[in-house]
Amino acid sequence: MPLIQAQNISKNYRVGDQEVPALKGISFEIGEGAFAAFVGPSGSGKSTLLNLIGCLDHPSSGTLLVHGTDISTLSRSAAATFRGEHLGFVFQDFNLVPVLSVYENIEYPLLMVRGWSQDKRREQVNKMIAAVGMTEQANKRPDQLSGGQKQRVAVARALVGEPKLVLADEPTANLDHDTAYRVLNLMKAMRNDFGTSFIFSTHDPKIMQEAEQIFTLEDGRLNPQGVAA
Ligand SMILES: Nc1ncnc2c1ncn2[C@@H]1O[C@H](COP(=O)(O)OP(=O)(O)OP(=O)(O)O)[C@@H](O)[C@H]1O
Ligand SMILES: [Mg+2]
């Protein structure tokens, strides 16, 4: 079963009494274990598409299957449950909770959705902190960390619930060149070690170079020239 099957997806935003078309009928498949990127100019629809795959919004038409579930019709609460069970998110600006420590930020998704015991949570959080090399900073708050360290915490937070898929919207945009490479290599190692699939939206040539599948969006359409297996 492919991880993602998108058939003729369209998305219109309503702005006042106008409909703004952001995606204009796109179809694609992404397999399990992917390290895939959506690229294209600003406004081409990359974030819109990631938000649809992430069950943060509904397509206006078309079918979107994620791991066999038709997410285009999920209710709000069903979408929240689906996100908690199957998806992790990494954002451009890290989105850590400022008043929580590194440990608590990573533990947070487990408190939201999982009925795990405290011992199981502690074991899993410590495993992820070690995996991203942040054990020594476990008690620090985000404002005591560098950008790269913050993004490593965000990667651990995205992966702590052992999701099938992590969606990363421009995760390297606020990182310097070397730090971006380190975070990117970390994500690839996580894919290799845990089998988690990654889908990026990006303008970053480093991600394009590391991606194993690239989809190019232009003005809400997939450019068939840009689809590489
Ligand atoms: N919430 C919204 N309401 C109205 N229009 C929106 C909304 N979000 C996005 N759009 C419009 O949809 C189109 C696609 O936007 P999107 O954010 O998906 O582009 P993008 O490829 O992620 O761009 P960037 O590279 O700048 O992040 C744009 O025309 C944008 O103005
Ligand atoms: Mg975007």
- Ligand 1 close to Cβ of residue 54 (< 6 A): no
DSSP state, residue 198: E
User: Which residues fall within 8 angstroms of residue 189, CB to CB, at 6 or more apart?
Assistant: none
Is the pLDDT at 90 greater than 70? The verdict is: yes
Between the CA of 22 and the centroid of ligand 2 the distance, in Å, is 11
Give dist(CA 40, CA 1) in Å, integer: 28
Whether residue 12 has pLDDT greater than 60: yes
Residue nearest atom 7 of ligand 1, based on CA coordinates: 13
Domains of the chain: 4-228 (3.40.50.300)
**Residue 43 Cβ < 6 Å to ligand 1:** yes
Could you tell me whether strands 4-15 and 35-39 are parallel, antiparallel, or unpaired per DSSP bridges?
unpaired
Of 108, 140, 100, the C-alpha closest to 124 is 108
194: Cβ below 6 Å to ligand 1? no
Kindly report, residue by residue over 108-129, the tens digit of the pLDDT: 999 876 678 899 999 999 999 9
Question: 48, 49, 172: which to mutate for ligand 1, most atoms within 8 A of CB?
Answer: 48
What is the model's pLDDT at position 112? 77
Answer yes or no: is the C-beta of 47 below 6 A from any ligand 1 atom. Answer: yes
Question: What percent of the chain has pLDDT above 90?
Answer: 84
Whether pLDDT at 65 is above 70: yes
User: Measuring from atom 4 of ligand 1, which residue has the nearest CA?
Assistant: 13
CA of 42 to the centre of ligand 2 (A): 7
Q: Is the model's pLDDT at 164 over the cut of 70?
A: yes
